[in-house]
Homo-oligomer: A and B are copies of this chain.
């Protein structure tokens, strides 16, 4: 199976880099206000050297309790988690923590727009996959710990790639949610 989604900006770029460049582009055009949240870090020790910046000398990565990205678009709250997989036939969701899955459920309950952006890096395809579908796999069945790619193709939406924006996920949001 060859990629159906010719990549321009994606030569070796990670999904996160693509999304960050996309969000900078969107911000510059004033289309939305969506940012990646900082990586949660537990700070244990900080040095305050004279005449220079405070230096964190001991800290640890913390489990994120929410998703990677959130913000506002067309008056609606937007919230998503971005994940890439090198798996060719399914998306394993064992590295999505229960707090993150519950967070997406809560966002839907409050009438926000919640989804995953899933990249199959071997196929060079990136899908927007609504959190309602994901919630079913995560919470409603216990047979598998991964979502078949076929299901993501059927229920998800391929995000168009280009130069600027690299990953035009707002056009996909327009199509699905408005």
Whether A38 lies near B35 (C-beta < 8 A) is no
Q: Which of B30, B41, B62, B103 contacts A59 (CB 8 A)?
A: B41
Q: A164 within 8 Å of B by Cβ? A: no
The CA-CA distance from A3 to B161 in the complex, in Å, is 57
Identical copies in the complex: 2
Q: Which of B43, B57, B74, B112 contacts A72 (CB 8 A)?
A: B112
| Range class of the A interface residue count | 35 or more
Given A38-B41, A41-B41, A77-B72: A110 and B33 interface contact (C-beta under 8 Å):
yes
Choose the segment among A10-18, A48-56, A116-124 that binds chain B (4+ C-beta atoms closer than 8 Å). Answer: A48-56
Interface centre among A41, A72, A106, A112 (most CB of B within 10 A): A72
Complex: chain B residue closest to A65, CB-CB:
B35
Q: A70 within 8 Å of B by Cβ? A: yes
| CB 8 Å contact bits of A65-78 with B (1 = contact, 0 = none) | 11000111111110
Whether A73 lies near B110 (C-beta < 8 A) is yes
Whether A53 lies near B61 (C-beta < 8 A) is yes
Q: A2 within 8 Å of B by Cβ? A: no
The CA-CA distance from A99 to B76 in the complex, in Å, is 22
Which A residues are within 8 Å of any B CB, using their own CB?
A: 27, 30, 32-33, 35, 37-41, 43, 53-62, 65-66, 70-77, 79, 103, 106-107, 109-112
